[in-house]
C-alpha cells in the first residue's frame, strides 16, 4: 500500500529543503543531496528572541527610608482583631465616614508602623510590593485540634484595603510608609487569612489575632509576562 506525501507541506511547514540540482526534497539538517551529491546552502540562522524590556530600578530618593533597610524591606506586626474596610458612608461631598472599629484598627496599624520606622521616616514614592497575612480569631465552630482554612468572613480584599490606607493616610500630616496606596503594584505573600498558630495555615500565623505586613520595592528585573 503506497502512502502519499504532501511535498509542499514538508517544505513550508516542516522545514524540508529542495535540492537546487535535482528534484529531491531533503531533511532540514541535510548539508548535501544524497541523490546527486550537490552541496546545500546552510540553513538560515534562527532568529534571535527579542530581549524583554527591563524596568529601571527605583532611585535612592524614591525609595525614601526603605533604602536604609536590609533588602529595602520593612516588616510590621500589629496585634489586634483585623477589621475590614468596605463600602463607607459619605454624609457630604468629600466627607467619608468610617466605623469606630475601622478607625481604631487603622490607627493601631499606623501607630505601630510609626513606632517601628521612627518619626524621621521618609515615605517611599516608588512602585511597591506588599505582603500581608491576617491572623483571625478562631471561631468556636472550628475543630479544636484540626488545621482548617479561614474560609469564612471577613473578605480578604476588604482586610487588605484597610491596611493599605492605614499606611498612607490622606492627611499629609499623619505618618505614612509610602506616599499613597496607588504605589502598591502587586502582592508578594498574600493577602492571606489564617487562624492563630499552632493551627494556622500559613508560616506567618501569629499566636493571637493580628496582621504581619511587609513592604518592599517592586523588582526592577525583566517585566512579567502573563505566562510567568
> In the prediction, which pLDDT does 226 show?
43
Residue that has been written with the C-alpha cell 497575612 in this structure:
133
**Residue 39 in grid coordinates:** 552541496
Beta strands in 28-183 (DSSP E): 74-79, 89-92, 95-97, 128-135
Given a contact cutoff of 8 angstroms between Cβ atoms, the answer to whether 215 and 187 are in contact is: no
* Calpha distance 99→22 (Å, rounded): 86
**Residue 63 in grid coordinates:** 525609595
Distance of CA 99 to the CA centre of its chain: 30
**Residue 157 in grid coordinates:** 480584599
* Calpha distance 227→192 (Å, rounded): 23
Tens of pLDDT along the chain (228 residues) come to 555 666 676 676 677 777 777 777 777 777 777 778 777 766 555 566 666 666 666 677 899 999 999 999 999 999 999 999 986 555 556 556 789 999 999 999 999 999 999 989 999 999 999 999 999 999 999 998 999 999 999 999 999 999 999 999 988 889 999 999 999 999 999 999 999 999 999 999 999 999 999 999 998 754 554 433
Domains of the chain with bracketed CATH: 1-47 (2.30.30), 60-217 (3.30.1330.70)
> In the prediction, which pLDDT does 50 show?
66
* Calpha distance 76→204 (Å, rounded): 12
> In the prediction, which pLDDT does 18 show?
78
> In the prediction, which pLDDT does 227 show?
37
> In the prediction, which pLDDT does 118 show?
95
Residue 175's nearest CA partner among 124, 111, 126 is 111
**Strand, helix or coil for residue 192:** strand
Amino acid at each position: 500500500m503506497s502512502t502519499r506525501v504532501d511535498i509542499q507541506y514538508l517544505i513550508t511547514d516542516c522545514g524540508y529543503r529542495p535540492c537546487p540540482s535535482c528534484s529531491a526534497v531533503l531533511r532540514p539538517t541535510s548539508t548535501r543531496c544524497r541523490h546527486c551529491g550537490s552541496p546545500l546552502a546552510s540553513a538560515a540562522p534562527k532568529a534571535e528572541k527579542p530581549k524583554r524590556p527591563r524596568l529601571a530600578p527605583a532611585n535612592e530618593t524614591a525609595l525614601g527610608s526603605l533604602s536604609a533597610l536590609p533588602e529595602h524591606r520593612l516588616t510590621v506586626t500589629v496585634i489586634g482583631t483585623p477589621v475590614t474596610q468596605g463600602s463607607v458612608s459619605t454624609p457630604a461631598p468629600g466627607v467619608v465616614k468610617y466605623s469606630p472599629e475601622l478607625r481604631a484598627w487603622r490607627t493601631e496599624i499606623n501607630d505601630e508602623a510609626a513606632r517601628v520606622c521612627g518619626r524621621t521616616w521618609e515615605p517611599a514614592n516608588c512602585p511597591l510590593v506588599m505582603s500581608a497575612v491576617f491572623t483571625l480569631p478562631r471561631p468556636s465552630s472550628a475543630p479544636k485540634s484540626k488545621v482548617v482554612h479561614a474560609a469564612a468572613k471577613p473578605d480578604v480584599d476588604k482586610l487588605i484595603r484597610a491596611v493599605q490606607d492605614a499606611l498612607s493616610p490622606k492627611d499629609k500630616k499623619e505618618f505614612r510608609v509610602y506616599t499613597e496606596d496607588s504605589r502598591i503594584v502587586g502582592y508578594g505573600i498574600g493577602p492571606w487569612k489564617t487562624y492563630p498558630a499552632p493551627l494556622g495555615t500559613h508560616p506567618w500565623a501569629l499566636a493571637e489575632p493580628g496582621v504581619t505586613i511587609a513592604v518592599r520595592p517592586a523588582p526592577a528585573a525583566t517585566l512579567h509576562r502573563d505566562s510567568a
